[in-house]
Amino acid sequence: MRYIGGKSLLLDNINNVITSEIPEISSVVDLFAGSGIVSSNFKSKGYRTISNDYLYFSYVMSRASIVLNKKPAFKNLGIDDPIKYLNELTFADTNFDIDQCFIYNNYSPVGQCERMYFQPENALKIDIIRLTIKKWYTEEQITENEYFYLLSALINAVPFVSNITGVYAAYLKFWDKRTYKTLELTEPIITNNGKKNECYNLDFTELLSKKCDLLYADPPYNSREYLPNYHILETIARYDYPEIHGVTGMRNYDDQKSVFCKKGTVASAFETMIRDCKSKYILISYNNEALLSTEALSDICKRYAIGDSFKLFEFSYRRYKNKIPNDTAGLKEQLYLLRRH
């Protein structure tokens, strides 16, 4: 999944800083997990991993891959291959009413709806798969772990048939070739690190009391809120039939705005996180063009760091705009490391 601020290109830098500076750590809290790629990296390296994100769809994406150490058995379902079953499911196979199909009725061009996020066939398939997963769980045919395993597979499949450039803040006014593909779920990748890993859907302040060796934080860098850019994935994950508005069918997100996205609150948000953290070390991903200046964030880190433990690492980074690399000098990804306890 293409994800704003995704760290796939920076995993080596993150790993190198950890192994060279704090090789003794064995447990990590990923406070703003996003796509889950960094949490999955930590888990694959053998760390006991605690993943968190305030957005529910992000939590769903990580819930299976982080918590589970093996594929669920689906003993009570009576279906040998649930992923194959869901891929082959048609509307005629179900007892659902078309009025129950929220994505079909609101994000594909049918009836009075003009939104072009999905071809009608894929929109309907998203709905019947989501409704089936919910039905199985409600009727106790699948466990909580099995529920999130299947839901994660659905959320991860949706972007491959979405009529967007990368995020859901707008849809294309013509059909991209990917939208003609049939929605297809694939098995979530599960690695076994032999640890009891955890996953949460909480405000960042509620995880600061977790005592781990390392707290890794990758908060938003600028004023761009995440939920408006992924509102449809949030709605598919929750399937809560929200009130929507505007050209894009946006759900309300006033209660999910981040303090890291506001110039007036970003400094105090960082201070709260660093001051109240109970983990031994903190590693923060940020960049030199973010909402809070390098100097300001460095000062906060130094204020709470034990001794002279604070270190700043910077890496040149190519700026990407509209899929075209832009090599304008100046942008640097940063890692702020300090010891707290």
Q: Of 31-35, 197-201, 322-326, give the lowest mean pLDDT range.
A: 322-326
Q: How many CB atoms lie within 10 A of CB 327?
A: 8
Fold of 1-70+196-220+258-341: Rossmann fold (3.40.50)
- State yes or no: pLDDT of 3 exceeds 90: no
Distance CA 47, CA 299 (A): 30
Q: For 153-171, what is the HEC assignment?
A: HHHHHHHHHCCCCCCCCCC
What is the mean predicted confidence (pLDDT) over 219-246? 92
B/e letters for 283-316, b = 16+ CB within 10 Å, e = fewer, are bbbbbeebbbebeebbebbeebbeeebbebbebe
What is the mean predicted confidence (pLDDT) over 130-146? 98
What is the mean predicted confidence (pLDDT) over 154-164? 97
Of the pLDDT bands very low, low, confident and very high (cuts 50, 70, 90), residue 225 is: confident
Q: What is the pLDDT of residues 84-127, one digit of tens each?
A: 999 999 999 999 999 999 999 999 999 999 999 999 999 999 99
| DSSP letters spanning 51-119 | EE-SSHHHHHHHHHHHH-SS----TTT--S-HHHHHHH--GGGS---GGG-HHHHHHSS-TT----SS-
The DSSP 8-state label assigned to residue 209 in this structure reads: T
Kindly list the domain boundaries of the chain, sorted by start residue. Answer: 1-70+196-220+258-341, 96-189+231-254
What is the mean predicted confidence (pLDDT) over 317-336? 65
User: Does the model's pTM come out above 0.75?
Assistant: yes
pLDDT above 70 as % of the chain: 94
Distance CA 233, CA 156 (A): 9
Q: Report the SS3 class of residue 334.
A: strand
Q: What is the pLDDT of residues 180-214, one digit of tens each?
A: 999 999 999 999 999 999 999 999 999 999 999 99
Average pLDDT, the chain: 93
CB within 8 A of 83, min separation 6: which ones?
150, 153, 185, 186, 187
Q: Report the SS3 class of residue 332.
A: strand
| DSSP letters spanning 264-312 | TTHHHHHHHHHHH--SSEEEEEEETTSSS-HHHHHHHHHHHSSTT--EE
Q: What is the pLDDT of residues 47-93, one digit of tens each?
A: 999 999 999 999 999 999 999 999 999 999 999 999 999 999 999 99
Of the pLDDT bands very low, low, confident and very high (cuts 50, 70, 90), residue 227 is: confident
Of 312 and 228, the structure prediction assigns the larger pLDDT to 312
**198-200/48-52 β-pairing:** parallel
Say what the pLDDT of residue 257 is: 83
Q: Does residue 219 contact residue 71 with C-beta atoms inside 8 Å?
A: no
- State yes or no: pLDDT of 325 exceeds 90: no
Q: Of 181-190, 195-204, 282-291, 315-324, give the lowest mean pLDDT range.
A: 315-324
CA distances in angstroms from 96 to 124, 128, 131, listed in the order given: 11, 8, 8
B/e letters for 125-138, b = 16+ CB within 10 Å, e = fewer, are bbbbbbbbbeebbe
Amino acid identity, position 150: L
Q: What is the pLDDT of residues 36-47, one digit of tens each?
A: 999 999 999 999
Q: Of 190-204, 214-228, 282-296, give the lowest mean pLDDT range.
A: 214-228
B/e letters for 236-268, b = 16+ CB within 10 Å, e = fewer, are bbebeebebeeebbbbeeeebebbbbeeeebbe
What is the mean predicted confidence (pLDDT) over 217-241? 92
Q: Quickly tell me which residue has 């009725």 as its tokens.
A: 105
Of the pLDDT bands very low, low, confident and very high (cuts 50, 70, 90), residue 322 is: very low
Q: Quickly tell me which residue has 């995880």 as its tokens.
A: 207
